[in-house]
Amino acid sequence: MNTLWILKMICKPLGCHIFYRSLIIYLVKRIGIFDRAYYLEANNDVAQAGKLPLRHYVSYGDKEGRHPMPLFDPVHYREQARSRTARVNALLHYAYVGRYRKISPSPWFDVDYYLSHNKDIARSHIDPLLHYIRWGGFEGRSPCPQFDGSYYLRAYPDVVEMHINPLIHYLFFGRLEGRNTLPEQNGNCLTDSNAHEPLQLLLPDEASWHALQPRAHIAEADIDVIVPVYKGRPETLRCLYSVLAASSQTPFELVVINDASPDSELTEDLQRLAALKLFTLLSNPENRGFVHTVNRGIQLHQQRHVVLLNADTEVYNGWLDRLRHAAHRN
């Protein structure tokens, strides 16, 4: 980005701005985030004048604070970046610098939150914003603490039928219609003014648990999903709910092993949910540690394949199908 900034300074007095603009257009197009249709829809003056959207954005739109796509606010981004090189082009700065520094492009997309809650994306090194727009939103992944993507898709099946990114649906339609972004909001939708406020992990209500398909003692299953549990009640319950709520074509049994948790409330929750036949519950009489606990789960059905999940993991639609496909690919 320093090179582009220096090039910009050189091109100004030399009159080679056309070359510089063409280079920026090429680079912005290459990163694949600019939304041509959205830009024209959001900027009637550009559409009515018959301007090429990407050329207009590079030449004028970025400096004027126009959004190149629904989840990129250049004014918000530059306030976070506080860098002279961000003045070259905010979208380019995000792609080459900002995403690695975990600078969020919008109050509604928190890069650090998305990566910390989706370790597979962090390991893949794919641009988190690009991933969320193309795949993550449709999988029910959450872009920030104030928007529960999985809940939004479950609560509003019309959004699934429309095949539209749930956060984009909310920003354009949902908040005008009074739709909730989190369970138990009681109709109080969040606005951009409080989008930065930290929120505690919210848990599924009783009705949500009762609506789930039981995953205990599944005779036809050839996979056991094993979750060892010790502490972390909110994380554990959200983990178990995500496994049970995610769609899957692969039959599996959910096996939860309570390794003598000191949290009596968590222990009661596990017993209550196991009574609903949501999972097979094993309980260690004393704390045995991770390795011994996992081995106990593996011994339960020795003829089955095993998938181990940490109790703070959240999974999404089709996760087990994709894992099984990858395992049998070779």
pLDDT in tens, 72-86: 988 889 888 877 655
Q: Is the pLDDT of residue 197 over 50?
A: no
Given a cut of 90, is residue 41 above it in pLDDT?
A: no
Percent of the chain past pLDDT 70, that is, above it, reads 87
What is the pLDDT at residue 99?
Answer: 94
Handedness of CA 67, 73, 77, 78 (dihedral sign): positive
The length of the chain in residues reads 330
Top pLDDT among 88 and 170 is at: 170
Alpha helices in the chain (DSSP H): 2-14, 17-31, 36-42, 44-48, 53-56, 74-81, 90-93, 111-117, 119-124, 128-131, 149-155, 157-162, 166-169, 206-210, 233-245, 264-275, 290-300, 319-327
Q: What percent of the chain has pLDDT over 90?
A: 58
Q: Is the pLDDT of residue 55 over 90?
A: yes
**What average pLDDT does the segment 195-201 reach?**
47
> What is the reported pLDDT for 272?
96
Task: Name which of 102-111, 200-209, 213-222 the model is least confident about.
Answer: 200-209
pLDDT (0 to 100) of residue 16: 57
pLDDT of residue 128: 96
Cα(first)–Cα(last) distance of the chain, in Å?
Answer: 42
Q: Residue 142 has which token pair?
A: 């959450």
Average pLDDT score, the chain: 86
Residue 200: pLDDT over 70 = no
| 95/85: higher pLDDT | 95
Residue 279 has pLDDT above 90, yes or no: yes
Please state, as a whole number, how many other Cβ atoms lie within 10 Å of the Cβ of residue 108: 22
Q: Is the pLDDT higher at 44 or at 286?
A: 286
Give the pLDDT confidence score for residue 110 in this predicted structure.
95
Instruction: State the pLDDT confidence band at 325, using cuts at 50, 70 and 90.
Output: confident
On the question of pLDDT at 330 being above 80, the answer is no
**Does residue 305 surpass a pLDDT of 90?**
yes
Task: Please classify residue 83 by burial: count the beta carbons closer than 10 Å to its beta carbon, then call 0-12 exposed, 13-18 middle and 19+ buried.
Answer: middle
For 263, other C-beta atoms within 10 Å of its C-beta total: 16
Please determine, for residue 4, whether its predicted confidence score (pLDDT) is greater than 80: no
Q: Can you tell me whether residue 123 is helix, strand or coil?
A: helix
246 has pLDDT over 80:
yes
Angle at alpha carbon of residue 59, lines to 53 and 60, rounded to 5°: 85
- The DSSP line for 210-270 is HTSPP-SS-TT--EEEEEEESS-HHHHHHHHHHHHHS--SS-EEEEEEE---S-HHHHHHH
Whether residue 156 is predicted with pLDDT greater than 70 in this model: the reply is yes
Task: Give the model's pLDDT for residue 147.
Answer: 95
Using a cut of 0.75, tell me whether the model's pTM lies above it. Answer: no
Over residues 149-171, mean pLDDT: 93
Q: Is 283 helix (H, G, I), strand (E, B) or coil?
A: strand
Residue 19 has a pLDDT of: 58
- Average pLDDT for residues 230-245, to the nearest whole number? 90
pLDDT at 201: 57
Q: What is the mean pLDDT of residues 197-216?
A: 75
What pLDDT, on a 0 to 100 scale, did the predictor assign at position 84? 66
Which residue segments constitute the domains of the chain, with CATH numbers given?
2-98 (no CATH), 111-194 (no CATH), 206-327 (3.90.550.10)
Rounded to 5°, the CA angle 273-246-137 comes to 135
Q: Which residue has the tokens 């739109």?
A: 61
pLDDT at 187: 42
